[in-house]
Amino acid sequence: MPPEDPSRGPEDKAPRSRWPWPLSWFLALPTDSTLRTMITAVGLCFVCSIFVSAAAVSLRPIQESNQRLDKQRNILQVAGLMREDASIEELFQSIEARAVDLRTGRFTDAVDPASFDQTIAARDPALSTALADAADLAGIGRRAHYATVYLVRDDAGAVRKVILPVHGYGLWSTLYGFLALQPDGNTIIGLQFYDHAETPGLGGEVDNPKWRAQWQGKKLFDAEGALQVAVAKGDTSANPYAVDALSGATLTSRGVQNLLRYWVSADGFGPFLSNLSQELTTHG
Ligand SMILES: Cc1cc2nc3c(=O)[nH]c(=O)nc-3n(C[C@H](O)[C@H](O)[C@H](O)COP(=O)(O)O)c2cc1C
């Protein structure tokens, strides 16, 4: 047996860790020490954040594709074209997307209607207009210069339905949806929201098919061209311009009325609706 080296102190006699530094140093800390607890918590957060970020990045294309499909499904539904025996992509091929310049009310090629994002454009001062409080019925602050509208044609190629994107503030959230109109630019075919955060059972009843069905056949403007569309309390079945307000959700109902009135007004699609028959004849 070799003689003991007298130069080795007691700490040198501790068993050597098989882990490299700094893991060996960390493992050597007492299990109940504050430092070890904090390092464990920070380390755990770091590892979890890597997993969450990786999941968010890798799932983004799937999320975007699902969002696009959901929007298309809503456009098909509001146009009354949704069928169970065909895929959304197949059905959506019959719908034509066109860009409209809201300042002139004319179709435009200035932006690609398939990829143009009104919400992103509305944040860019170069691509949008700030709305004065008096004009901002929908509570949206800014309005993009352009919007994508959707046209549904019959077999002979004539436009039968025009679908406009609309959005505006309810009680808790901005409601995003589509308004489908007949080519007269006045008769409503449907109104449907695809995104909002109103309370389920109260403002969330905007999604109730029975409530949505009331919009069919209602008019936006009277014979003199005055804007009349409304969401009103009481029985509105005989009123050509109004649907019943949602019970217990007066504020969401008012928001829906306001956003509709805004988007068909002169600051929204008003100029486009006035030009509609001419636009469809010459550029449709
Ligand atoms: C938890 C909670 C959620 C509510 N959610 C909504 C809503 O989504 N939309 C709405 O208009 N009112 C909502 N309200 C009710 C409004 O505060 C308000 O009372 C209501 O709009 C008045 O409608 P009424 O005159 O039909 O009763 C909610 C109230 C509570 C307490």
Q: Which atom of ligand 1 is nearest to the CA of 254?
A: 11
Predicted confidence (pLDDT) per residue in 112-147, tens digit:
999 999 999 999 999 999 999 999 999 999 999 999
The string of DSSP letters for 71-90 reads HHHHHHHHTT---TTS-HHH
Distance set, CA 66 to CA 49, 61, 88, 89, 215 (Å): 24, 9, 11, 12, 27
For residue 203, which phi and psi values (nearest 5 degrees)? Answer: -65, -25
Q: Which of 254, 91, 42 is nearest to 169 (CA)?
A: 254
Residue identifier of the C-alpha nearest atom 10 of ligand 1: 249
pLDDT the model gives residue 21: 86
**From the CB of 247, is ligand 1 less than 6 Å away?**
yes
Cα 196 to averaged position of ligand 1 atoms, centre (Å): 15
Give the pLDDT score at 131.
94
Cα 198 to ligand 1 centre (Å): 9
pLDDT, tens digit (0-9, with 9 covering 90-100), for 144-178: 999 999 999 998 889 999 999 999 999 999 999 99
* Average pLDDT for 227-242: 94
Per residue in 270-283, pLDDT (tens digit) is: 999 998 877 777 76
**Ligand 1 centroid distance, CA of 202 (Å):** 6
Length of the chain measured in residues: 284
DSSP annotation of 13: G
Is there an atom of ligand 1 within 6 Å of 199 CB?
yes
Pairing of strands 230-232, 242-244: parallel
One-letter amino acid for residue 120 of the chain: I
Tell me the pLDDT band of 214, cut-offs 50, 70 and 90: very high
Q: Band the pLDDT of 230: cuts 50, 70, 90.
A: very high
- At 6, the pLDDT band (50, 70, 90 cuts) reads low
The answer, yes or no, to whether any atom of ligand 1 lies below 6 A from the CB of 248, is yes
Give me ligand 1 centre to Cα 201, in Å: 10
Closest ligand 1 atom to 245 CA: 26
Inform me whether the pLDDT recorded for 213 exceeds 90: yes
What's the pLDDT tens digit per position in 25-35? Answer: 888 889 889 99
What global pTM score does this model have?
0.82
